[in-house]
Structure 1
Amino acid sequence: MKQTIIDPHIWESIFSSIHNAVIVVDQDGKILLINSSAKKLLQIENEHWEGKDIRDLIPTTQLPHVLESETSSIGVKMTIAGRQCLVNRTPLYRNGELIGAIGVLQDISQMEHYHSLFKQMETIIEFSTDGIYVVDQNGITIMVNSAYETITGFRREELIGKHMYDLVKKGYFDQSVSLLVLQQKKRISILQKIGGKKDVIVTGNPVFNEQGDIEMVVTSVRDISQLIQMKAELEKAKSFSKMNHHRYTFSVDGSNEQIVFRSSAMKQIFDKVQQIAPYPTTVLLTGPSGVGKEVIANLIHHLSPRKDKPFIKVNCGAIPEALLESELFGYEKGAFTGARQDGKIGLLELADKGTIMLDEIGEMPLSLQVKLLRVLQEKQVQRIGSHKTKKLDVRIIAATNRNLKELISQGKFREDLYYRLQVIEMYIPPLAERPEDIEPLLDHYFSFYCKLYRIDKHLSPKTKEILQRYHWPGNVRELKNLVENMVVSVPSQLIEPHDLPLHIYDQTAATFPLTLKERVEQFERRLIYEAIEKHSSLRKAAQQLGIDHSTLVKKLKKWKQAEKTPRRH
C-alpha cells in the first residue's frame, strides 16, 4: 500500500487556519510552532518567538508541568494576556518517546460576557414589576417571572411545560394572547381575566428568527383590577356630583366625622347651620330618633368660634332625676347627704366659653326646667347648697325626638322654656322623608367600614335596590349599624338579598317576589362566590363544588349578564 505524503506547506496552512490558538513546545519548553490565532491572542503578530522559552511568553504556563508529569489537563480556565481562556494541554510523543507538549487555547471572554449579560437580563426579567410570560413557537410555556406569580396567584410549576390551549381549557385564563399572536404573527393587546376574577391587560410580542418564523412569544402582564376599581369609584363620584351629592368632613374631639346627603331638605339644614353657627344663639334640634341630631350639633360647634372650647353632651333621659340636677349645676361641700367633701363642679360650669348639648330635653323634670330657664335668662349658674352665682357664657343646643308642644299641653314641659330654647329650631327629617339620601349614606358607610376592617365587599344591585326601598324606621343610626353588620358578618364578597335581616327582606318581598327557583339560585350563587374567593382559579373552585369547570363558567356568565340587565317593575 502506497503511503500518501502531504506537502509540509499544506500542514502549515492547516495549522495556521485553526481558529483556536495552538502552541507547540519541545521537551525543554522551547517554542517549536505557534499559529496565527495564538499570535493574535498574545498580541505578538509582528514578533518571532520560535525557539524561545514558553515561560517568557506566558509566565503562568503549565506546559513545563505537563512535560515533567507527562499528564494531560483539559478545560482549565486561566487568564492569558488579559483574556479569559479555556486551555487544553497534552504531552506530544513520537515512536513512544516524549518530544514535547502542545497547548490549545480558546478565548472565552466573549462567551463569558454573553453569559454575564444573559444572567443580568434574567435578573432584570425576574425583578420586573410587570408579569412576564414566555411561550415557544408551539405555544408551550417556557418561562414565568415572580411578578406574574404575584399578580395571578399561579405558581410557575403549574404553568411551565403546559400548552396555552390546555391552560385556557382548565380555567387559568379566559383567553390566550400568546395563541392569538402565534396565529396572527403580530403584536396583540387584550384584556384578560385570570382565574375567573382578576382583570389584567396583557400584550403579546412575537420574536422572529432570521428566517421570519416566530421563535417565541413574550407577554407582559399588568394588573388593572385596582385601576378598574378606581375608575368605578371615579364614575360613582361623578354620578354623585351630578345628582347634587354633598359631603362635608369635620373633626370633633379629635375624630373625623362626615355629614353626607343628597336631598334638598338636608342641603337647607346644612346651609342654615353654616349661617347660624358663628352666633351664640340657642338652638333646638327636633326629629325622630337616629336621624343625626348629634351630628348636626357637632357641626354647629365645629363651625362656631367656640370649636376649641369645651363641648359637653348630656343625655337628660339617661341620668336619674335625683342625679341630673347635681350633674348639671354641681354642689358645694356638705350640700346633701353623700355629697363629696370638696364639692363638685357642674357640667354647665365645665362648658363655660364652650357649648353644651342637652339631648332628650323633653325628659327633663319640671323642677330642673325652672332652673335651666333661669340660666338662660340670667346667664349665670348657682351650685346646689351655695348662695353665690357665677357668670356663665355657654351656648345651649337642645335636642329631642318628642313633640314639645304636646308635652306643654300635657303640663310636662314649660312653655316659657320652650320659647327660650326655640330661638333657632331645626327639624331633621327621617330617611323616609328624604329617600334620595339613602344611596349616598349606604355608599359612605359601606366604604367606611370596608376600609376600617380592611375588607373588600360589594352590594349586589338587587340588594342595594331593596335597601333603597326600605323605610328605615331607625333612620341613619339603623342604616349605619346594618352596614357594619353586613360588612363583618356576611362571609361572601358579594352581599345578596338573602344576606339581609329577615325584617328587611320580608318587608320588601312584595316589591321583589321570588319563586322557589330564584331562592335556590340565590343560595347557589352564595356558595359559588365563597368557593371562588377561597381558590386561585375557577378550576379549583369547581373541584371543591363538585361541578364541571364549564358549568361554573356558564353560571358566572349568566349571572354577570343578569346584573347588567336593568330590572323592570
Structure 2
Amino acid sequence: METQSLLHSIPWENILSSMHNSVLVVDDHGTIRFMNSSARALFQLEAQSWEGRSIEKLVPNQKIMKVLKNGDSFIGEKIVINGKQCMVNRTPLYEDGNLIGGISVIQDISEIEQYRNLLKQWEAVLEFSTDGIYVVNSEGITIYVNKAYEDMTGFDRKDLIGRHMKKLMLNGYIDQSVSLLVLEKKQKISIIQKIGGKKDVIVTGNPVLNDSGEIELVVTSVRDITQLNDIKHELLRAKTFSQYHDHRFSVKIHDSDQHVVFQSEKMSEVHDKVKQVAPYPTSILLSGPSGGGKEVFANLIHHYSTRKNEPFIKVNCGAIPEQLLESELFGYEKGAFTGANKDGKIGLLELADGGTVMFDEIGEMPLTIQVKMLRVIQEKQILRLGGITPRKLDIRIISATNKDLNKLIEKGDFREDLYYRLQVVEIHIPPLVERQEDILLLVDHYFSYFCQQFRIEKRLSEESKKILQSYHWPGNVRELRNLMENMIVSIPANLIEPHHLPVHVYSQADFEKPLTLKQKVENYEQRIVYDTIKKHPSLRKAAAELSIDHSTLVKKIKKWRD
C-alpha cells in the first residue's frame, strides 16, 4: 500500500523511536503502522504482533477515528491505559493536502500525579510547621510563605508573595532581609530580625543550589524568640534574687504569702533589729511613711516571735468611730448599755490573749481610750464595759504610725506616759526614696508576682526600669505594688515600654541630665505614636490615623529603635 510505504519511509522514525513519550501512528483506515518502544511497553505488546492491527481493537472508542474522519485534533485528553493515568494528544497526518493517517502522542502522567501528591504532602508539612517558612527566588522575589509566618508576624501572604524583599523593607514589613544577604554572600546566614517594628525573631536563610552551583531559591526559617527572651529574663531575675537570698523573707498572712524583699543596708538594719526584738514580749512602735511596709514588718515581728501560733489582731484606730472603738476593744457585759447584745460581747483585746495586737494609726486613738489602754498595759488585765471583775490579759502590743507622736504630745493629742509605754523599742521604716537599691528588686518581685497570679507573660524594658528606679515613689512600696498590678492588667502589650508608664511617673522621674524642650517633645511624640500602633498593628493604618506618610512612620520607629 502506498500509505504503508510512505509511513515506513518517514525520515524521523528513528527520532520517534527514541522518544520517552509513547507514539502511535495509524493510516487513514485506523490500522496501526508504527509504535515506538514506549508505546509497546505501555500497551504491553512487547511480545505480541501489533503491526496491521486496528486501533479500535487495541483501544476501543478511540477518538483517533474522529481525527481520520474530520481531520480534527484532540489535545490533552486524560485516559487510563492498563491502569496508568495518561495524557493523549491526537493530530491528523497530511501529505500534499491529503489526509493519510493520524498520530497519537501519549504521556504517562501517573508519575507526575505522584510528584504532585508528594508536593501537596510537603506543602502540608510546611503549613503545619511551627516555624515560619519564607521562600524567595534567585531574584529576591517572595514565592512562598507558610501559615506559621502569617500567624507569627500578622502579615497576610497575599501582601508578600510576588514582592521583592527590598520593597518589603522600604514599606516597613522587616528591618533587614536575610534572603538578600544569602543571595549576596552565597552562604547560610542567621540574623535577629524585627518584624513590623515590634517583634524580634531569629531567621536563618539557607541557599538552594542548582546543578550549576547557582542559587535557585533561598529558604528561610523564622522563629519567634519572645518566649526565649522571657525565659532568659526569668533566669536573670532568679539569679538576681538568688544573689540576695539572705535578704529575702516571706511571712504567711491569712492564706497568702507576703514577702519582705530588700537588699539595701538600711532595710538590712531594720530586719536585723526586728529579728532581735521579736522573741521578747516588749512593746514596739513602728514609724515611717504611709505605704512603707509597717504592717508587713508587724507581721514579720509576729512571725519571728514565740507567739506566732497565737492570735494576731489588727486594729485600725483611724477607721473605727470613737463611740464604737471602746466596746470593740474591751467588749461588754450583757445589759451594759441600751442596744447591747443580750449575751454581752468579747472584745478584740481578749480575743488576742496570748498573742499580739497591732494598733495601726495609733496617733488617731482617742484620749479617753488612751487612758484605758495605759491601765491595760500597766496592770495586764482588762475590764469589760459594764463589768466589775477584771480579767487577766497577756498581749504583746505593736503600734504603727506615720505621724510624729512627739508633736501630738506637745499639742495635747497624745498621752506622753502611753507613748513611753508603747515606744519601748522604736523601729523606723525608711521611705522607698531613701533605699533606691530596693526599687528594682521590688519592681521585679511584684511584676513577677502579678504575672504568675494572672497567668500573663509580660516583660519590662530596661528603659522602663530606669525610669521606675529614678521615680521618687511618694506612695512607697504600696504605690509600687499597685502600679505593677495596674501595668500587668491594663496594658495589652507584652513588653512594657516607657510610653506605657503613667504620665506622672514618666514626667517626674529624675533623669541624670535635664531634658531639653526638643527631647521632651520627642518623648511625647513617641508616646502618641506607640499608643496609635498599639491600637493598629498595621503600620499603614497607624500612619493614616496619625496623618503622616507610611515611610515617615517607619523612619521614626527605626530612629527610636536605634
TM range (shorter): 0.7 to 0.9
Match of 1:501 in 2: 504
Match of 2:182 in 1: 181
Match of 2:334 in 1: 333
Deviation (angstroms), 1:490: 8.9
Cα distance change of structure 1 residues 132 and 408 upon mapping to structure 2, 3 Å threshold: same
Match of 1:93 in 2: none
Equivalent residues of 1:249, 1:259 under 8 A apart: yes
Cα distance in 2, alignment partners of residues 78 and 309 from structure 1: 92
Cα distance in 1, alignment partners of residues 5 and 451 from structure 2: 93
2:144 matched to 1:143?
A: yes
Cα distance change of structure 1 residues 125 and 365 upon mapping to structure 2, 3 Å threshold: same
Q: What percent of counterpart residues are identical?
A: 58
Deviation (angstroms), 1:325: 1.6
Cα distance in 1, alignment partners of residues 427 and 503 from structure 2: 33
Cα deviations by residue, 1:401-446 (Å, 9 ceiling, x for unpaired):
3445666675833636743x45654221223432333343345455
Cα distance in 2, alignment partners of residues 516 and 64 from structure 1: 88
Match of 2:316 in 1: 315
SS at match of 2:5: coil
TM-score normalised according to structure 2 size? 0.75
Equivalent residues of 1:76, 1:88 under 8 A apart: yes
Equivalent residues of 1:261, 1:267 under 8 A apart: yes
Cα distance change of structure 1 residues 459 and 85 upon mapping to structure 2, 3 Å threshold: closer
Deviation (angstroms), 1:182: 1.6
2:104 matched to 1:112?
A: no
Cα distance in 2, alignment partners of residues 108 and 491 from structure 1: 54
Match of 1:564 in 2: none
Cα distance in 2, alignment partners of residues 42 and 295 from structure 1: 93
Match of 1:259 in 2: 260
> After alignment, is 197-206 or 379-388 more displaced?
379-388
Match of 1:95 in 2: none
SS at match of 1:5: helix
Equivalent residues of 1:326, 1:384 under 8 A apart: yes
Deviation (angstroms), 1:547: 3.6
The within-5 A match list for 1:29-44 is none
Match of 2:168 in 1: 167
SS at match of 2:301: helix
Match of 2:470 in 1: 468
Cα distance in 2, alignment partners of residues 62 and 342 from structure 1: 111
Cα distance in 2, alignment partners of residues 319 and 212 from structure 1: 87
Structure 2: segments with no counterpart, 5+ residues: 27-31, 92-101
Cα distance in 1, alignment partners of residues 16 and 557 from structure 2: 74
Cα distance change of structure 1 residues 115 and 305 upon mapping to structure 2, 3 Å threshold: farther
Match of 2:385 in 1: 384
Equivalent residues of 1:538, 1:549 under 8 A apart: yes
Equivalent residues of 1:290, 1:475 under 8 A apart: yes
Cα distance in 2, alignment partners of residues 442 and 538 from structure 1: 32
The within-5 A match list for 1:126-525 is 126-228=127-229, 230-231=231-232, 234-235=235-236, 238=239, 246-274=247-275, 282-302=283-303, 310-352=311-353, 354-369=355-370, 371-373=372-374, 375-376=376-377, 381-387=382-388, 394-404=395-405, 412-413=414-415, 415=417, 418-419=420-421, 421-422=422-423, 424-445=425-446, 461=463, 464-465=466-467, 468=470, 470=472, 472-481=473-482, 494-495=497-498, 500-501=503-504, 505=507, 512-525=513-526
Cα distance change of structure 1 residues 84 and 278 upon mapping to structure 2, 3 Å threshold: farther
Cα distance change of structure 1 residues 164 and 329 upon mapping to structure 2, 3 Å threshold: same
Cα distance in 1, alignment partners of residues 361 and 266 from structure 2: 23
Equivalent residues of 2:463, 2:498 under 8 A apart: no
Cα distance in 2, alignment partners of residues 89 and 506 from structure 1: 86
> After alignment, is 347-356 or 318-327 more displaced?
347-356
Cα distance in 1, alignment partners of residues 24 and 294 from structure 2: 100
Deviation (angstroms), 1:384: 2.5
Match of 2:530 in 1: 529
> After alignment, is 42-51 or 215-224 more displaced?
42-51
Cα deviations by residue, 1:70-122 (Å, 9 ceiling, x for unpaired):
999997878776666668999xxxxxxxxxx9999765443332222111110
Structure 1: segments with no counterpart, 5+ residues: 26-30, 91-100, 562-569
For these two proteins, the number of residue pairs brought into alignment is: 548
Cα distance in 2, alignment partners of residues 191 and 413 from structure 1: 68
Cα distance in 1, alignment partners of residues 263 and 547 from structure 2: 47
Deviation (angstroms), 1:534: 3.4
SS at match of 1:336: coil
SS at match of 2:531: helix
Cα distance in 1, alignment partners of residues 83 and 282 from structure 2: 92
Return the letter of the residue paired with 2:342: Q
Match of 2:5 in 1: 5
Deviation (angstroms), 1:388: 5.1
Equivalent residues of 2:370, 2:418 under 8 A apart: no
> After alignment, is 377-386 or 178-187 more displaced?
377-386
Return the letter of the residue paired with 1:170: N
Cα distance in 1, alignment partners of residues 500 and 510 from structure 2: 10
Cα distance change of structure 1 residues 106 and 519 upon mapping to structure 2, 3 Å threshold: closer
Equivalent residues of 1:245, 1:440 under 8 A apart: no
Equivalent residues of 2:499, 2:530 under 8 A apart: no
> After alignment, is 343-352 or 236-245 more displaced?
236-245
TM-score normalised according to structure 1 size? 0.75
Equivalent residues of 1:362, 1:413 under 8 A apart: no
Cα deviations by residue, 1:9-36 (Å, 9 ceiling, x for unpaired):
99999998775679999xxxxx999986
Equivalent residues of 1:132, 1:218 under 8 A apart: yes
SS at match of 1:116: helix
> After alignment, is 543-552 or 6-15 more displaced?
6-15
Deviation (angstroms), 1:243: 8.1
Deviation (angstroms), 1:161: 1.0
Return the letter of the residue paired with 1:159: L
Cα distance in 2, alignment partners of residues 37 and 449 from structure 1: 74
